[in-house]
Amino acid sequence: MVILAMSPDLETQLQRMAAAQQVSPAQIDTSCLMPVFALSKSLSSGHWCGPHVPLRAPDLGLTWAVRVPGGVLNYVTFEMQAFWDGQDLDWKRLAMRNLAAATNNREGARTLCRSDGKPYAVAFMYEDGLGTSRLLLRQSLEQMFPKGYKVAVPERGCGFAFSADVSAAEARTVQGIVDRCHRHGTYPLLPGSYLSTDLEVAQS
């Protein structure tokens, strides 16, 4: 029999979920609730004890977490979900509102621009370590890239969106940055690039 060891990242996340279960859901500050991308293999490991949904990108899923002092994420558990559902709280929508509030007028977006000053790529690297989550703010990205855009999620703290009409040289520049983020990131996700629609919830 082969026993597969959990990755250090997954083990840390599961420990935090276990710790979160020691806290009453009534004590959770829902103003700090945020959507978070995670690897599908972590979410489907059989140990994950909270809500999550698969995305069109088969190796990626979406879950939720509460930011606590010190930059730590406490992932939402089924107990928290049941408590909020019992209060008729639309906690998923609240998480998106919190994300927008934590993004608007905050430093963390860095653009790569062409000679005419127009951006061809944007990197989200916010202090809260949830740069990839900003890729869920699709309306703003559609305005920035009216010809369409692709995305990259190399590491939880670094999310990238870039115009669908990038030149070969621009694409190499973006991919070089994405590769470095994936290799050196604290919480690596996926290399490469994806369609913006790959971050949508998969249809069952």
34 and 119 housed in the same domain: no
Q: How far is CA 53 from CA 12, 43, 50, 200, in A?
A: 20, 9, 10, 10
Domain that holds residue 75: 8-20+28-101
**Within a domain: 3:** no
Residue at which a domain ends, from 47, 81, 101: 101
Q: How far is CA 182 from CA 49, 177, 178, in A?
A: 26, 9, 6
State pTM to two decimals.
0.87
**Within a domain: 204:** no
pLDDT, tens digit, 9 for 90 and up, residues 50-65 = 999 999 999 999 999 9
**Within a domain: 1:** no
Burial level of 144, CB count in 10 A (0-12/13-18/19+)? middle
* pLDDT by 10s per residue, the chain, length 204: 223 334 556 566 556 555 555 678 888 999 999 999 999 999 987 888 899 999 999 999 999 999 987 778 899 999 999 999 999 999 999 999 999 999 998 899 999 999 999 999 999 999 999 999 999 999 999 999 999 999 999 999 999 999 999 999 999 999 999 999 999 998 999 999 999 999 999 986
